[in-house]
Structure 1
Amino acid sequence: MKKLFIFFFLLFSIFSYLDAKIVPSKKVFYINSYHSGLYWSDGIEKSIRKILFKSKIPIEFKRVEMDSKRNNDEKYKIRIALEIKNQIENFKPDVIITSDDNAIKYVILPHFRNSNIPIVFCGINGTIKKYEQLPNNITGMEEVQLVLEMIETLKSYSKKEKIAYLKGDSFSSVTEVEFFEKRINKKIDARFVKTIDEWKENFKDLQNSAGILLIGNGGAIKEWTRYEKELENFVKEHIKIPVVTWDYDTMKLSVLGYTTKPEEQGEWAANTALRVLNGENIKNIPIVVNKKANIYINTTLAKKLNIVFPFELIDYAEIVQ
């Protein structure tokens, strides 16, 4: 009898142990609006993975890239969004994470507006409120550039009042300018370009007509990465006015950078997804904006323009040459 009791006790213990170990994985589907190789996108995804996979929750992670910065054709974006929709339906995720605007605009709003799947976004330029009829089960972190701080820092080195903007022709660029104009309460001379030659032409033109030039990454410009070194030399030769960026990828082309941190976006999105997977109601999680930034100074271009920044800024900034 004693042996029988021990046998059943051991059997019960084994099954209890196995039952405790077999915990169903939670499924997370991640949509990158852009592509691997972009500093911004890579920083977000790396942070998402880091947070998710160090959690105690077993995670089954699937990710897709829209590649919509290099492929800005409307038909392409609609087609790739439909493909992603089908993948989501087959994967049946417990939560969806998106980064940047096009995943929301082309995948979520047309196909998952009335879905019960919780959606966590990050990297939305300006405000998510620019989209109408959002799903009820959505929250996220908006991406806000410190445009006022950039202009305030450089205005004493500027001889003209006009603010200009130069970036690739994309939906995010257009919405970004709209947000900037509201933020500074001033019209911006915005130039959206598709090629390296167009970028060069507009850069030279704005050196003579603007006081401060805002530039973003060239991910939407054809063959941008191929000509990055050439553009560095071009800017050194033709720069006449303060140029500022919010993308680290373009610091070699800028005097000053106030760059948002992709890690902040990715970490917040992943931690929020975990909160949802742990049972928290997504409707109780408010939408937030980023609060962190890195400051960079390009001393080579600053010297070219005879700009001497205050010691307080230099002490806080990282130097780029």
Structure 2
Amino acid sequence: MGRYLKLTFMSAFFVSLIVAIVLISANRPRILILHSYDPSYVWTRDINVGLERILESKSWIDIRYQYMDGKKHSSKDYQRRAGISARKVIDNMEPDVLIAIDDNAQKYAAMFYTNHPKIKIVFAGINGSVHPYGYDEADNVTGILERKPVRALVELMKTISVSGGSNIHPRAVFLSDESHSTERDANYMETQDWSPAVYQGRVPFRNYEDWKKYVLTADAETDFLLVGGYRKLNRSADDKTKVPSSEVAKWTEENSPVPVIGMNVFNTNDGVMASVGVSPYEQGMVAANMALDLIAEGKTIQDIKVQTSQNYIISLSKSALKKRDIVLPQVFEAFARTTDNYLP
């Protein structure tokens, strides 16, 4: 009889424990992190680094990731289907906070939850207006905007020009593909103060052959080429195959008569000599902190104002700089090395 009672009590204890665990898990606050791209994409990978710096120790939160893989599959039909899949995940999980990163995540998924009574949206990586997504009028949305670091780009161009005895008012052209993303970047860049540099605007191309022709004679009209978006260049007017980004960057760096500066930190990995880009770590960290403020601090969306990117990252290629006989102050190299963005 005693043994029977003991087994009964033990069984009841374990059942109670399991029920308690289930209840606790069910009541944990939930964050869904929705990426437009895939985790192997450098920008996405480094945003995750920023997110994890803030969220890694928060085991009391149910945190899940969803990737839409938009860089590898860029067709509108694929994006639409990826958006439907993402919305199914959102509906099933019902997160307290949806962190949506880059424009595809907004366009195909997050915007469908504006003014949702339970789900709060924190965006990151939007390089244009939030108006197309209805975020400017929504009562459940905040986030951090991505804006090109114009003043940092000007400082780098000025430093290179002065050290080389060139014009103290360097001219710069933004060379890009015809993507909407580069168009949004250009619209922002047009509104900024570039002094003492002279910003000459964006020159977009559809195919790689035309891009190469322009690059070869760029010194006739400018002192610097600013590059950022070149992943959607067709091989030629007749060949619609997309040219690998590394091929475009390496060829441009090797053949441009003027220095080439990337506007994303990973452009140096692709092949250009130097890059100044928005910090992906800041995008992730700010978004994560906003989510925590909503979940743990009891703040409302109205308490958390939309922010604009402030931090930037520098990446350098020692060999590419050497080929152009460009010597930068030691602080540039130190900055790049600190963030592990200094290439031999």
Q: Do these two structures clear the TM 0.5 threshold for a shared fold by scoring above it?
A: yes
Q: Is the 8 A contact 1:47 1:263 kept in 2?
A: yes
Q: Give the letter for the 1:174 counterpart.
A: E
Say whether residues 1:34 and 2:37 are aligned partners: yes
Say whether residues 1:143 and 2:146 are aligned partners: yes
Are residues 52 and 227 of structure 1, via their aligned partners in 2, closer, same or farther at CA, if it must alter by over 3 Å?
A: closer
Cα deviations by residue, 1:196-226 (Å, 9 ceiling, x for unpaired): 4454344334344322211115444567785
Select 2:88's aligned residue among 86, 101, 111. Answer: 86
Q: Give the letter for the 2:98 counterpart.
A: I
List aligned pairs for 1:234-253, cutoff 5 A.
Answer: 234-252=251-269, 253=271
Q: Is the 8 A contact 1:72 1:170 kept in 2?
A: no
Q: Is the 8 A contact 1:34 1:65 kept in 2?
A: yes
Q: Is the 8 A contact 2:121 2:142 kept in 1?
A: yes
The root-mean-square deviation of aligned C-alpha atoms, in Å, is: 3.5
The aligned counterpart of 1:5 is none
The aligned counterpart of 2:305 is 286
Cα deviations by residue, 1:44-100 (Å, 9 ceiling, x for unpaired): 134435543420423151413151x44444454444334433332233222111111
Are residues 114 and 146 of structure 1, via their aligned partners in 2, closer, same or farther at CA, if it must alter by over 3 Å?
A: same
Are residues 30 and 289 of structure 1, via their aligned partners in 2, closer, same or farther at CA, if it must alter by over 3 Å?
A: same
Looking at structure 1, the residues matched to 150 and 29 of structure 2 have their Cα atoms a distance apart, in angstroms, of: 39
Identity %: 24
The aligned counterpart of 2:116 is 115
Are residues 316 and 46 of structure 1, via their aligned partners in 2, closer, same or farther at CA, if it must alter by over 3 Å?
A: closer
Looking at structure 2, the residues matched to 127 and 31 of structure 1 have their Cα atoms a distance apart, in angstroms, of: 19
Q: Is the 8 A contact 1:166 1:192 kept in 2?
A: yes
Say whether residues 1:216 and 2:219 are aligned partners: no
Select 1:169's aligned residue among 178, 184, 187. Answer: 178
Count of aligned positions: 313
* Runs (5+) with no aligned partner, structure 1: 1-8
TM-score when normalising by structure 2 = 0.75
* Runs (5+) with no aligned partner, structure 2: 1-8, 235-240
TM-score when normalising by structure 1 = 0.79
Q: Give the letter for the 2:155 counterpart.
A: E
Are residues 307 and 184 of structure 1, via their aligned partners in 2, closer, same or farther at CA, if it must alter by over 3 Å?
A: same
Select 2:279's aligned residue among 261, 282, 294. Answer: 261
The aligned counterpart of 1:125 is 127
Looking at structure 2, the residues matched to 115 and 263 of structure 1 have their Cα atoms a distance apart, in angstroms, of: 28
Say whether residues 1:276 and 2:299 are aligned partners: no
Select 2:212's aligned residue among 187, 200, 207. Answer: 200
Looking at structure 1, the residues matched to 65 and 317 of structure 2 have their Cα atoms a distance apart, in angstroms, of: 38
Are residues 47 and 200 of structure 1, via their aligned partners in 2, closer, same or farther at CA, if it must alter by over 3 Å?
A: same
Are residues 57 and 78 of structure 1, via their aligned partners in 2, closer, same or farther at CA, if it must alter by over 3 Å?
A: same
Q: For 2:315, what is the secondary structure of its paired residue?
A: strand
Are residues 230 and 214 of structure 1, via their aligned partners in 2, closer, same or farther at CA, if it must alter by over 3 Å?
A: closer
List aligned pairs for 1:17-32, cutoff 5 A.
Answer: 21-22=21-22, 23=24, 24=26, 25-32=28-35
Looking at structure 2, the residues matched to 61 and 76 of structure 1 have their Cα atoms a distance apart, in angstroms, of: 22
Q: Give the letter for the 1:211 counterpart.
A: D
Looking at structure 1, the residues matched to 265 and 138 of structure 2 have their Cα atoms a distance apart, in angstroms, of: 33
Are residues 207 and 85 of structure 1, via their aligned partners in 2, closer, same or farther at CA, if it must alter by over 3 Å?
A: farther
Q: Give the letter for the 1:98 counterpart.
A: A
Are residues 315 and 63 of structure 1, via their aligned partners in 2, closer, same or farther at CA, if it must alter by over 3 Å?
A: closer
Cα deviations by residue, 1:102-122 (Å, 9 ceiling, x for unpaired): 32234333x223322100111
Are residues 305 and 73 of structure 1, via their aligned partners in 2, closer, same or farther at CA, if it must alter by over 3 Å?
A: same
Q: Is the 8 A contact 2:39 2:67 kept in 1?
A: no
Q: For 2:310, what is the secondary structure of its paired residue?
A: coil
Are residues 152 and 48 of structure 1, via their aligned partners in 2, closer, same or farther at CA, if it must alter by over 3 Å?
A: closer
Q: Is the 8 A contact 2:66 2:86 kept in 1?
A: no
Looking at structure 2, the residues matched to 184 and 106 of structure 1 have their Cα atoms a distance apart, in angstroms, of: 34
- Once superposed, which parts of structure 1, at least 4 consecutive aligned residues long, lie more than 6 Å away? 9-20, 222-225
Looking at structure 2, the residues matched to 70 and 198 of structure 1 have their Cα atoms a distance apart, in angstroms, of: 24
Looking at structure 2, the residues matched to 229 and 170 of structure 1 have their Cα atoms a distance apart, in angstroms, of: 18
